Chain A
């Protein structure tokens, strides 16, 4: 989720910048940008992200998964320091500290709370007939 969510956003941003701004009166022009390779790669990354997200939600609460995945901001900042050699100021470090505290707090919680509804009926006709 962390890797594909972050790279998907970055690829989409780059793709949209290279395609130019969309006119407010022609919003459907957004579909004309789809063949852009950066946007296609971004969409692929977000599909992988979506599958990972669905898997996580199949055994954990939404209010558990959401704060836990904020660790991606920490990973992005560490990447920008060690890979892109960017300077990270005190303000950004304080933001990172808040996120680490948040993720640390939620990590000690049980992943699933509340009632778990009955699973949907089996869709396999052979097994459903038994």
Chain B
């Protein structure tokens, strides 16, 4: 039963982390390059623009769900399972979500890179 809870936590963490990453990426794309904003308009303008983004806070809300789900999972499972298992799956779900929701051009090379990283993290998890 403990294993079911652990994998349920991993599933919730992966889904919430992907939703969070996509929303934060969308918000940052709309806000623009932070370095350029800071250079041209200063720190206060940059912070105001970041803090006025509702999409960013929606992303942070989903990241918080992933964070607490991860925390609960960590109290049942080792970091060596919980961390990489959720991280490995998030690489794949993020690439899929980036293509369909953010309309990013995920080239073959990026897919290959994502699969390599997924395999590498999985090998590290279970070695």
Quick check: is A98 within 8 A (CB to CB) of the other chain?
yes
Task: Judge whether A95 and B123 touch: CB under 8 Å.
Answer: yes
| B117 surroundings in chain A (CB, below 8 A) | 66-67, 70, 98-99, 102-103
Known A-B contacts A70-B120, A108-B109; A21 and B102 likewise in contact (beta carbons under 8 Å) = no
- Could you say which interface size class chain B belongs to? 35 or more
A-B pairs with beta carbons under 8 A, tally: 177
Q: In this complex, what residue of B is CB-closest to A54?
A: B28
A33 to B124, alpha carbons, bound, how many Å? 29
Number of A residues with CB within 8 Å of any CB on chain B: 60
Q: In this complex, what residue of A is CB-closest to B94?
A: A66
A45 to B53, alpha carbons, bound, how many Å? 23
| B91 surroundings in chain A (CB, below 8 A) | 66-67, 70
Known A-B contacts A10-B79, A13-B79; A113 and B123 likewise in contact (beta carbons under 8 Å) = no
| B94 surroundings in chain A (CB, below 8 A) | 62-63, 66
Nearest-neighbour CB distance to chain B for A130, whole angstroms, equals 13
